[in-house]
Amino acid sequence: MEEYLVECWNCAATYDAVDAVLCNHPNPTTVCPFCLKCFCGAGDEFRSRFWRECPQCLRDRRELLLSHRNPRLGEMLLRAGRITPEALNEAVEKQAFMRKPLGEILVMMGALTLEELSLFLADQKLVEQIDLSMFKLDHRLVKRLGVAYCVVHRMVPIELYRFADGEILRFAVQSADRIPAIKCSHVMRDFVLIPYLALPEQFKPFFQEIVALARDNKD
C-alpha cells in the first residue's frame, strides 16, 4: 500500500497522509491525526507542494469526495432541524471512502430514515446529479424492472440494495420531468426511490445498452 509521509504544518508531527481523513471544507485537505488540524490554513506553497507530490490515490479520493458532496442538501437538512452538525460532518467525512450521496450516508448512519430522506427530497424538489462513468449497467436489475419499462420511461437503474425497512432503488434520468410518472408507476410501488440526473453524454450509452437488451428480448 502506498504511503505519503508529510510534516504537519501546524504541530510539525509526521503522519501518513494516505491514511488520514479529509476535512469537510469546500476544498478538502488531510487532517493531522495528532493535532486534528487540516492544512486548509497552511500557506499556498505548502498546499501546492502537497497536491503536486502526493500519490494519485489521494488525489482520486479527494475528487471522489467532491463529486459526491451535496452541500445544499446538508445545509437544508440542518436548517430544517432534521440532522445535527455532528452528523453532517461525519457523513461528509465518510464520503471520502464511499460511493454514496450524502443523503444515503445519513440514512446508513441512522441520522435519517429512508422515509424522511425521500419525503425531504420530494418536498424540496431536490434531484442530485450523478456521475454514471463510475458505474456499469446491471442487466439483472434492468430485467427485474422490465426492459421495456426502462425504455418507455427513459430511465437507467443504477443500484438496488436492502435496508431493514425496505429496498432502495437508485435510478438516473436525463430530465426531472420523467420522475413523477416513474414514482406513480405500480412497478415502483415496493421500492424507496432515489432519482438522479445524469449528463446527456453519460446517459446515452447506458440507455443505448438498455435499448439493445430490448431488441435481444424480441429476437
* Pairing state between β 191-198 and 166-173: parallel
pLDDT-based confidence at residue 17 (cuts at 50, 70, 90): very high
Mark whether 140 and 94 lie in a shared domain. no
Over residues 146-173, the mean pLDDT reads: 88
Residues recorded for the chain: 219
Residues 136 and 194 reside in one and the same domain: yes
Q: What angle do CA 6, 47, 5 make, to 5 degrees?
A: 10
Residues 164 and 90 in one domain: no
Predicted structure pTM score: 0.52
DSSP conformational letter for 22 = B
The answer to whether residue 118 is domain-embedded is: no
Q: What is the mean pLDDT of residues 187-191?
A: 86
For residues 91 and 30, state if they share a domain: no
Per-residue pLDDT band for 139 (boundaries 50, 70, 90) equals very high
C-alpha 147/C-alpha 140 separation (Å) is 10
CA dist 102 and 43 (Å) reads: 30
Q: Which domain holds residue 43?
A: 5-66
Q: Are residues 107 and 144 in the same domain?
A: no
Give the pLDDT of residue 38: 87
Q: Tell me whether residue 175 is in a domain.
A: yes
**Predicted confidence band of residue 66 (pLDDT cuts 50, 70, 90):** low
135 shares its domain with 181: yes
CA distance 15 to 19: 9
Residues 108 and 186 occupy one common structural domain: no
The position carrying cell 442538501 is 73
- Distance, in Å, from the CA atom of 176 to the CA atom of 195, rounded to the nearest integer, reads 9
Say yes or no to pLDDT of 77 above 90: no
Contact 160, 188 (CB under 8 A): no
Q: Which of 7-21, 22-36, 172-186, 187-201: highest mean pLDDT?
A: 7-21
